[in-house]
Amino acid sequence: MKLFFAPQTRAVSSRWALEELAVPHELVQLKFPEELVHPELRAANPLGQVPTLVDGDQVVTESSAIALYLADRFPAAGLAPAQDRRHEYYQWAFFVGAAMEPHLLEYFLQTVRFSEAERDSARAASAKEKFERVLQIVNHHLADRQYLLGDQFSMVDVILGSLLGWASMLKLLDGFEHVGAYYKRIYSRPAFQKAAA
Amino acid sequence: MMKLYYSKQSRATRPRWVMEELGLEYEIVPMNLQAGDQRKPEFKELNPLGQIPVLQDHERVICESGAICLYLADRYRPGTMAPALDQRGDYYRFCFYVYNTLEHQLIEIFLHTRFLPEDQRKPERVAQAKELLQARLQIIADHLATREFIADGRFTTADVLVGSALDWAHMQGLLGGFPSLVGYVEKLKKRPAYQRAHETEVAHS
């Protein structure tokens, strides 16, 4: 199994998933974004995205898809619920990508990535407000739970946790008590420490 | 009976299509988005984001159209609409690809050509989104060049999600350079379950 990886990108999530499952794998370390033209990566995924996972003749892209794929491919670790009880599991997997990440990305572009001349402070402020509104929903959910699905860590915690790492770097978690406690809980996991090293 | 909070011409048709494929009985709860039904407190109890669709399956409440579709495929008649658990690479890949990669461009184009008031539309954002869209459609066209369906060599929920997104792209006139994708969409639209999910519209929704 081979993971095309770059530090401090969405690929951390996939590396974390592999470490949680203790799956032997080869890591192809690329510099983001200039090394995404790597020929073997382009052959597997012409969009040149990290993460891209190659497992035999199976190519998997999209960090959330890779996480769910790995949880099902290595079921002994118990990181996915039984097949008939996956309502919350799938909901959170989609919620992170659809409801949270677009606002975080916009805020990142408008405050960090773009040159100062290209930045639009109104768009940054609006993205921050929208992100915080959604984060409040997560904060409320975590008030009486250790993990997204309750008492047990699962693969959707890898998906949310990876996004929170990014949000934390942008100082967007301040004031969200339960999210903050959750973030500390999952970031102390050895698998995360190894993936983010 | 399951309840689907629904509005026509929205992502709510996706879980409805899956339920029709599975032959499930369900009740449609029509939501009038113009009248603000999605902002009413009793609906926000179900989904604090105030978005449709929402599925109520006995005590379970599920938001996010993609999540509802995957849930239904695993919960009812398992195996009918989803691959075995250890064969889900293409399945998960393209289900998330629709929401996290492909549709961002479709939404951007829709907002800046149709949805926003004319003085707020930005043609340069449409041009940029259309350029990105080409490469993203090409990924699906390449995948389907050697396959009839997205995953598992047969029709699955991944086809419902990819097909629905491409159907929307086609309605916006964005599949011009991709006749094979038009053919794929047309093939899916012939399925009786697709037709039941789309043609039997609900009054007041």
Answer yes or no: do B89 and A58 touch at CB < 8 A: yes
Smallest CA–CA distance, residue B202 to chain A, in Å, is 26
pLDDT at B201: 59
Q: Is the peptide bond before B30 cis (omega within 30 degrees of 0)?
A: no
CA distance A109 to A118: 9
For residues A79, A180, A87, A151, the Cα torsion angle rounded to the nearest 10 degrees is 60
Tell me how far apart the alpha carbons of residues A106 and A116 are, in angstroms, rounded to a whole number: 14
A107 touches chain B (CB under 8 A): no
The one-character DSSP state at B65 is H
The residues of chain A that CATH labels 3.40.30.10 are: 2-77
- Is a pLDDT exceeding 70 seen at residue A144? yes
Using the predicted structure, report yes or no on whether residue B179 has a pLDDT greater than 70.
yes
Q: What CATH class is the domain A2-77?
A: alpha beta
- In degrees, rounded to 5, the angle at the alpha carbon of residue B110 between the alpha carbons of residues B106 and B111 is 120
Q: Tokens 């809980």 sit at which residue?
A: A185
Domains defined for chain B, CATH in brackets = 2-81+193-199 (3.40.30.10), 85-191 (1.20.1050.10)
Chain B partners of A138 at a C-beta cutoff of 8 Å?
Answer: none
Q: Could you count the other beta carbons within 10 Å of the beta carbon of residue B30? A: 17
B69, B157 Cβ separation under 8 angstroms: yes
Tokens encoding B97: 């690809």
Residue spans in chain A of domains classed CATH 1.20.1050.10: 83-190
The CATH code for residues A83-190 is: 1.20.1050.10
- C-alpha torsion sign, points A94, A99, A105, A106: positive
Cβ burial, residue A143 (10 Å; 0-12/13-18/19+): exposed
Helix (H, G, I), strand (E, B) or coil at B52: coil
The pLDDT tens digits for B25-77 are 999 999 999 999 999 999 999 999 999 999 999 999 999 999 999 999 999 99
pLDDT interval class at B204 (50, 70, 90) = very low
Tell me the C-alpha distance between B168 and A65, whole Å. 23
b/e map B148-161, b = 16+ CB within 10 Å: ebbbbeebbbbbbb
Give the ipTM of the model, two decimals please.
0.96
| DSSP at A54 | E
At B8, the pLDDT band (50, 70, 90 cuts) reads confident
The residue behind tokens 């050697």 is B146
What pLDDT sits at residue B194? 96
Q: Does A54 touch chain B (CB under 8 A)?
A: no
CB pairs under 8 A between A and B: 104
Nearest 5°: the CA angle A49, B89, B101 is 40
Closest CA to A65 of B186, B162, B90: B90
Q: Among candidates A2, A13, A42, which has minimal Cα distance to A163?
A: A13
**Subunit contact B88:A72, Cβ cutoff 8 A:** yes
For A20, the token pair is: 């949680």
> Is the CB of B67 less than 8 angstroms away from the CB of A134?
no
pLDDT in tens, A151-186: 999 999 999 999 999 999 999 999 999 999 999 999
| Cross-chain Cβ contact A91/B67 below 8 Å | yes
Report CB contact under 8 Å: A64, B48: no
H or E segment and range at residue B4: strand B2-6
pLDDT tens, position by position, A30-79? 999 889 999 999 999 999 999 999 999 999 999 999 999 999 999 999 99
What single letter denotes the amino acid at residue A80?
Answer: A
| Yes or no, beta carbons of B100 and A59 under 8 Å apart | no
Q: Which amino acid is at A132?
A: E
A58 touches chain B (CB under 8 A): yes
Read off φ and ψ for residue A49, nearest 5 degrees. -90, 145
Strand-pairing partners, residue A55, are: A58
- Mean pLDDT for chain B overall: 95
Q: What is the DSSP string of B151-176?
A: BTTB--HHHHHHHHHHHHHHHTT--T
Q: Does A196 touch chain B (CB under 8 A)?
A: no
A-chain residues near B139 (CB < 8 A): 45-47
Question: Does the distance separating the beta carbons of A72 and B67 come in below 8 Å?
Answer: no
pLDDT surpasses 90 at A197: no
Residue B205 pLDDT exceeds 80: no
pLDDT per residue over A75-111, tens digit each? 999 999 999 999 999 999 999 999 999 999 999 999 9
